[in-house]
Structure 1
Amino acid sequence: MACNCCDSCVGSKVEEIPIPYRQHDVSPLKPSDVLWTTERDKPVKLRMAESGPGSETPITIHQMFEATVAFHGEHPALRWKEEGKWNMLTYKEYYLQCRTAAKGFLKLGLERYHGVGILGFNSPEWFIADVGCIMAGGLVTGIYTTNSPEACQYVASNCEANVLVVENHKQLIKILQVKDQLPHLKAIVQYKDALEKKLPNLYTWKEFMSLGEGVSDEELDAVIKSQAPNECCTLIYTSGTTGNPKGVMLSHDNITWISNAVGTLTKLQMGGEVLLSYLPLSHVAAQVNDMWIGMKFAATTSFAQPDALKGSLGETLREVRPTSFLGVPRVWEKMQERMKEIGAKTTGLRKKVADWAKGLGLEASRNEMNRTDVVPWGFGLANSLVFRKVRLALGLDRCEACYTGAAPISRDTIEYFMSLHIPLYEVYGMSESTGPHCVSWKESFRITSCGKEVTGCKTKLDNLDADGNGEICFYGRHVFMGYLNMPEKTKEAVDQDGWLHSGDLGKHDQDGFLFITGRIKEIIITAGGENVPPVPIEDLVKEEVPIISNVMLIGDKRKFLSMLITLKCVVDDAGEPTDELSPLVRDFCQQRSVNATKVSEILSTKEPAVYQAIQEGIGKVNAKATSNAQKIQKWTMLPQDFSIPGGELGPTLKLKRPFVSEKYQSEIEAFYAET
């Protein structure tokens, strides 16, 4: 099926480009006797197993792509919507577009092992620029769209970017403000919208794609063939919650091996998967899931609209109907809130049927989790009356696996979806492990566990305490090469035996499932010397009081624990939290004869009904505490919810504790002023 996109998306005409793909011999590894490096042009020794999983022949990104094109060249690869119409590229067309982009980068003077920064929302151009950069021998570097000009400058400078690919004028302005501080920058490419002003070395996507016409296939193939699986091809920058972001160096083998390992473990069907790309591609989770696993298993990846997380995601889900779906916890929480709002308005027989069905759904999901064949009586009817309709309404009717990752998710949210017979499978890993290290899936999962390690990977728990908690350490071919130009940071992360230290605390159950119990750097050590992991306490508070949006536990080097609390509110189109209470909170207030519709109204009067409900919820959490030191003594409500624009949350909605502590220092100090 031919592509229907416009010239500005495709670039030069596909039919004028010869089909150059062919199966090359396996690329030999470049000699190396070190497991890590911080130099962009140095290879590493792979953590190869002698046999079985982990012993597979290493391949490059290009070889993985070639194999897919050879067998699935006419299969739909990328889909995107313009002016109400879906457009498509087949795998053959996608591959040729990537070669064209690679030639364009070479024409612009991309030097080997130098960066190509991509700053924009998910799109075919993002994928094509990414793969094209790798083909051309560069280091592809995603830059978060929420970055300030200064943060963009840091990443672009650190990776010595020769080219920056930006989505639109809004992102271009950021780069223009700092381009004089980027000595390696040779060109900028804008892939959406017309240029508002023509500037030297600034190109439209169409202009960029036409640049490669003077570069021969032989010249590009020579660059491709010179690449080895144990060399760096991608940089993933950490969010920089403490200090400057670190450039995580990933090799071809890191990416190709983990993509095959995860897809094989979860039994993906070659050519049968449908994915939806909407999470930031600068983050390793989205990049591995959407791009690389998709490429390995010839999936069809559709792109959401840029305002996906502001409201349009639901509509796109219903159109695309993915076969698997990855959401960060906040995405699932928003779905839960929306469905609860609808459910709160349901009465009479309809409500009774829904409650009955959800009880059966939870029982059936638990039975499946425990690998029993018992199906609750009446489940078929509940499935027909409720569950199928819910899945259809969510766009998950053919979704075989719903995943959650990048941050902790509450038990309440997991059990809510289980009651709808939609189990959420937790995935655990880091940028430094090329994404997933542990995976839950329908044949192997437990509530609140992140599953078991991907076959071929190894886990050990370091410095075990009396309860079996220890630091989670990873080993395998997915472990990164090192942090770019940061040898000391790399030594902190990777020990002399090649184990990656995650900084997370965890424990195994008797069946080998891994449970995350805290984070070493986040552990609160009270003035009395008590070690308190904040996340479990924070999750319990949010479960007990559903009108709470975000919380942060305070107490490091303090005499007691305190907590910052925000209420759920309406978020505007820019992602900024407003003063308007969410429908769920408004309903909560109305049920208690409170007429407030704004956060400020609750705060100004310290509305007794709301404050009492929060205190009662905290009291229930305190009743479960293992010691007095783990009880919350004081709390305060903040005037505004945490958000990415506000700086309290990172791009994947992870809490930035140092920032919050500094921003709300006066509120925190007030807790302890009289002690």
Structure 2
Amino acid sequence: MTDTHTLIESRPPSVAAIFLERVEATPDGEAYRYPVPAAAGQGPDDWRVLTWAAAAERVFATAAGLIALGVRPEERVALASNTRVEWILADLGVLCSGAATTTVYPSTNAEETAYILADSGSRVLIAEDAAQLAKARERRAELPELTHVVVIAEADARPAADDPEDWVLSLAELEKRGAAYLAEHPDCVTERIAALRADQLATLIYTSGTTGRPKGVRLPHDCWSYMARAIQGTGLVTKEDVQYLWLPLAHVFGKVLTAGQISVGHVIAVDGRVDKIIENLPVVRPTYMAAVPRIFEKVYNGVVAKAREGGGAKYKIFQWAAGVAREYAKVSQDNFRHTGNASVPFALAAQHKVADALVYAKLRDAFGGRLRAAVSGSAALAPEIGYFFSGAGIHILEGYGLTESSAASFVNPGASYRIGTVGKPLPGTEVRIAEDGEILLRGPGIMQGYHGLPEKTAEVLEPDGWFHTGDIGELSADGFLRITDRKKDLIKTSGGKYIAPAEVEGRIKAVCPFVSNVLVHGANRNFCTALIALDEPAILGWAKEHGLAGMEYAEVVAAERTRELIDSYVEQVNEGLQRWQRIRKFRLLPRDLDIEHGEVTPSLKIKRPVVERSFKDLLDEMYAGAREA
């Protein structure tokens, strides 16, 4: 077996080359599963399979189609689509043609979509449907370099009367043209792949900035080739795994998973419909999946709500089982850390066995019954939620990375994972902590820079390759990293005390099963406050049992009984905080934070400045009359 160092050091220059290796090695192996949605009321979706050879046929046809359209190496082809198998095939087609993919979130509005297309100089846009086509059509005058729009949904690929000739075509038509071009030039795609250089641009991912325009992060082919081999080298994923992929592929976290899969050769079941996750899990029965913390929080809140609905006795059993799960996870992890043995005392093991039969087994079944591990990234997972799932036999391995570092810079090792940390650096990635606590990274996964923004690049990327992440963290003696907060998010009160809001927010989420999103505020103030959005299904379930049945979400949130409920949890959190960290006042929001209002990113991270602007009146109200030091 090849050791990890050799695997990484001998990596090909591109994922396109790794894709060719994979197709040659396992042409008849299953590569992708994807759903064909059933007509309304016509039963479950029909899941289909693509082998590596069948996938390669479509990838080559797409690549040749782009070459036939005149796309040259390193020219940009934008992709605006939800997560679906065509996204992966189109992205591979772009890479195999020698071009570079510009990723665009389908939720991005027409103005920002046009900005990204223009700033990247994208020649072709691969659009999911009529809605994405309409954005480009509306702003076509601003996009002189955009020569074609390729629409995935064939029925939506209808030219308008004033479209330039051949401006709109379907993905099926592009593949058809590519197949014809391949018949005349059979080596055109393999020649493009062979000519790829490691430092050649592969992907432009625009970060969703909280202020100003998004910046295009330039990731060359070597970033993805390195990530593919490094993920394989961790041993966390094997070729026997079935991964359920629903994360947005326009985000670096989703994209890096596709690179690792090609190198390892396991199956991906791909479906980006978030509302289908619960329905899909028992169908896909994944052994491995990745998610953002909000998904695990929602599952946890849902489990708590279901237990409460079962009546007092059932809820007490759940609370007992949740406590056992947390204690079991803490004791076993602590023992493993110090002795290499994850054993627990006999009495705790006996309690855990009973709790497993009563509670945990049902929870594992909801995930499909085969889940070996889940990776969580993009934001911090509250440790108490991590301990609960761990004790229930659902192992959530936190990882860490940024768009600028190709997503996967750190990940927790399998059996020796440590809750509350993001694990150890991937092989080949260096880390050091600056004097002010900022995490610095260096390695093959680091970006080339920001597209067309040399000054912005110089602010974060040193000449010797060290990248300033903007995150504050601590390294343990044995190399585990703990993230404490974003450098720019640290709160300094008017009394001079520093507070990490993410830590306090995580504690609130862990204690209160009704919280969806929370923002702690207190910069230059003499006490901290919080804006709290509640989880709608969970709080409406509670309301039904407490005399508030039939009320709308906003009415329940405005009720004094609801405020008293949340206040009890806030006080519980405050007991474990330093005086200056405590939440003195809070307000419940009339709605949850969402992408549509620009308050969270597509990966569900809160945009603090936007939220503080949106609810400035509530913040001002909490500080009205307060003496500011």
- Taking structure 2 as the reference length, the TM-score comes to 0.90
The counterpart of 1:588, out of the listed 542, 559, 564, is 542
Name the amino acid aligned to 1:640: R
Q: Note if contact 1:456-1:476 (Cα within 8 Å) is conserved in structure 2.
A: yes
The counterpart of 1:275, out of the listed 231, 243, 258, is 243
SS at match of 2:555: helix
Distance 1:349 1:596 in 2: 25
Flag the 1:89–1:532 CA change in 2: closer, same or farther, 3 A: same
RMSD over aligned CA atoms reads 2.4
Name the amino acid aligned to 1:540: R
Q: Note if contact 1:440-1:450 (Cα within 8 Å) is conserved in structure 2.
A: yes
SS at match of 1:377: helix
Q: Note if contact 2:127-2:149 (Cα within 8 Å) is conserved in structure 1.
A: yes
The counterpart of 2:430, out of the listed 458, 470, 475, is 458
Map of 1:202 onto structure 2: 168
Map of 1:393 onto structure 2: 366
Name the amino acid aligned to 1:211: R
Q: Note if contact 2:157-2:170 (Cα within 8 Å) is conserved in structure 1.
A: no
Range with greater deviation from structure 2 (143-152 or 216-225): 216-225
SS at match of 1:435: coil
The counterpart of 2:135, out of the listed 154, 159, 174, is 174
1:104-143 paired onto structure 2 within 5 Å: 104-143=65-104
Flag the 1:507–1:120 CA change in 2: closer, same or farther, 3 A: same
Map of 1:293 onto structure 2: 260
Q: Note if contact 1:440-1:452 (Cα within 8 Å) is conserved in structure 2.
A: yes
Per-residue CA deviation, residues 215-265 of structure 1 (Å, 9 max, x unaligned), is: 512333332222111222111211122221111111211111122112221
Q: Note if contact 2:288-2:372 (Cα within 8 Å) is conserved in structure 1.
A: yes
- 1:404 matched to 2:376? The reply is yes
Per-residue CA deviation, residues 572-591 of structure 1 (Å, 9 max, x unaligned), is: xxxxxxxxxx2x22343455
SS at match of 2:408: strand
- 1:374 matched to 2:343? The reply is yes
SS at match of 2:205: strand
Map of 2:118 onto structure 1: 157
The counterpart of 1:610, out of the listed 562, 581, 600, is 562
Name the amino acid aligned to 1:168: D
Map of 2:611 onto structure 1: 660
1:348-367 paired onto structure 2 within 5 Å: 358=322, 361-367=325-331
SS at match of 1:436: coil
Map of 1:622 onto structure 2: 574
SS at match of 2:350: coil
Map of 1:8 onto structure 2: none
1:525 to partner: Cα distance: 2.1
Flag the 1:497–1:337 CA change in 2: closer, same or farther, 3 A: same
1:525-604 paired onto structure 2 within 5 Å: 525-569=492-536, 582=537, 584-589=538-543, 592-595=546-549, 597-602=551-556
Q: Note if contact 2:8-2:229 (Cα within 8 Å) is conserved in structure 1.
A: no
Flag the 1:152–1:362 CA change in 2: closer, same or farther, 3 A: same
Distance 1:557 1:356 in 2: 41
Distance 1:57 1:607 in 2: 60
Distance 1:368 1:478 in 2: 34
1:524 to partner: Cα distance: 1.6
1:384 to partner: Cα distance: 5.3
- 1:436 matched to 2:408? The reply is yes
- State the 4+ residue runs in structure 1 displaced beyond 6 angstroms: 348-353
1:559 to partner: Cα distance: 3.2
Q: Which runs of 5 or more structure 2 residues have no equivalent in the other structure?
A: 39-44
Structure with the higher fraction of residues in helix conformation: 2
Range with greater deviation from structure 2 (54-63 or 353-362): 353-362
1:474 to partner: Cα distance: 0.9
1:629-644 paired onto structure 2 within 5 Å: 630-644=581-595
SS at match of 1:646: coil
SS at match of 1:80: strand
Flag the 1:355–1:137 CA change in 2: closer, same or farther, 3 A: same
Flag the 1:55–1:276 CA change in 2: closer, same or farther, 3 A: same
Flag the 1:366–1:634 CA change in 2: closer, same or farther, 3 A: closer
1:207 to partner: Cα distance: 1.0
Flag the 1:491–1:618 CA change in 2: closer, same or farther, 3 A: same
Range with greater deviation from structure 2 (444-453 or 647-656): 444-453
Distance 1:379 1:633 in 2: 38
Distance 1:365 1:53 in 2: 34
- 1:648 matched to 2:614? The reply is no
Identity among equivalent positions (%) equals: 28
Flag the 1:511–1:174 CA change in 2: closer, same or farther, 3 A: same
User: Number of matched residues?
Assistant: 599
- Taking structure 1 as the reference length, the TM-score comes to 0.84
Name the amino acid aligned to 1:281: L
Q: Note if contact 2:158-2:169 (Cα within 8 Å) is conserved in structure 1.
A: no
1:57 to partner: Cα distance: 4.1
The counterpart of 1:336, out of the listed 297, 300, 308, is 300
Q: Note if contact 2:236-2:414 (Cα within 8 Å) is conserved in structure 1.
A: no
Flag the 1:58–1:368 CA change in 2: closer, same or farther, 3 A: farther
Per-residue CA deviation, residues 278-298 of structure 1 (Å, 9 max, x unaligned), is: 111000111111x11111111
Map of 1:45 onto structure 2: none
Name the amino acid aligned to 1:276: Y
1:173-322 paired onto structure 2 within 5 Å: 173-195=134-156, 197-199=158-160, 200=165, 201-212=167-178, 213-215=180-182, 216-270=185-239, 272-289=240-257, 291-304=258-271, 306=272, 308-310=273-275, 312-322=276-286
